[in-house]
Structure 1
Amino acid sequence: MQVLFKSRHPQATELRDLTERRVRFVLRRLSWLVPRAEVQMSDVNGPRGGIDKRCQVELRTDGVGSMVVACVANDWRTALDNALARAARFLMRVWRRGSDTRRMRQRFVSHER
């Protein structure tokens, strides 16, 4: 899986290696479905502070297409973990939905005979 990291904020750029490790860890069981992941980190309010650390995760999948999840939190790590958790849950839901319809079709076809 190819992991791309984009950020203009100096504190976020220090998290490049951590971000790549977290993406690979969270998506380790679904890496065959996601050939490319892109993570963008930005500071919404700038130096004013507040809940403004934004992490956007875009997963490009073979079967489903492209999906984007964004989270805003107090710090970079929380925003990253929340965005990855939401992306993994969504990806699992889509994958299960696809496999359930295949199973239903197989059951229906086998009962007709």
Structure 2
Amino acid sequence: MQVLFEARGAEALALRGVAVRRTRFVLRRLQWLVPRARVHLEDINGPRGGVDKRCCIELQRPSGEPLVVSALASQWREALDAALARAARALLRWWQRHRGQPATARLVPPR
């Protein structure tokens, strides 16, 4: 699984290694469903503090459509862990909904 990391700010850039390792660890059992994951960290209102650290995770699914989740927290690590937990739950729910359908039915969008 390829993990792409994007961040704005020096504090967020320091978490690159942690974010990549945590993403691979959390999605290790579902990595066959996700060829690429993009992790984006952003401080919404700058150095003023508060609940303003956003982590947005975009998972590329086999059907081609992305799964995007995000989380807000006061600390970078909390936002990352919350977003990864949401992403894993959402990906598992998606897989459970679509595993009984034939592959062609999954790839054709509903009308």
TM-score greater than 0.5 by the shorter chain: yes
2:97 is aligned to: 97
Runs of 5+ unmatched residues, structure 1: 103-113
1:27 is aligned to: 27
Q: Which amino acid aligns with 2:19?
A: T
1:59 is aligned to: 59
Q: Give percent identity, aligned residues only.
A: 56
- 1:82 aligned onto 2:77: no
The alignment's TM-score, normalised by the length of structure 2, stands at 0.87
Q: When you count helix as a share of all residues, which structure comes out higher?
A: 1
The alignment's TM-score, normalised by the length of structure 1, stands at 0.86
Distance 1:8 1:52 in 2: 13
Distance 1:49 1:33 in 2: 36
Q: Which amino acid aligns with 2:71?
A: C
Q: Would the aligned equivalents of 1:33 and 1:63 in 2 still touch at CA under 8 Å?
A: no
1:3 is aligned to: 3
Paired positions, count = 102
Q: Which amino acid aligns with 1:56?
A: C
* Structure 1 stretches of at least 4 aligned residues deviating more than 2 Å after TM superposition: none
1:68 is aligned to: 68
Name whichever of 11-20 and 59-68 sits farther off. Answer: 59-68
Task: Note the C-alpha offset of 1:48.
Answer: 0.9
Q: Which amino acid aligns with 2:59?
A: L
Distance 2:39 2:19 in 1: 8
- 1:48 aligned onto 2:48: yes
Runs of 5+ unmatched residues, structure 2: 103-111
Distance 1:93 1:50 in 2: 32
1:18 is aligned to: 18
- How far does the alpha carbon of each residue in 1:19-56 deviate from its partner, in whole angstroms, 9 at most, with x for none? 00000000001101100000100001111111000000
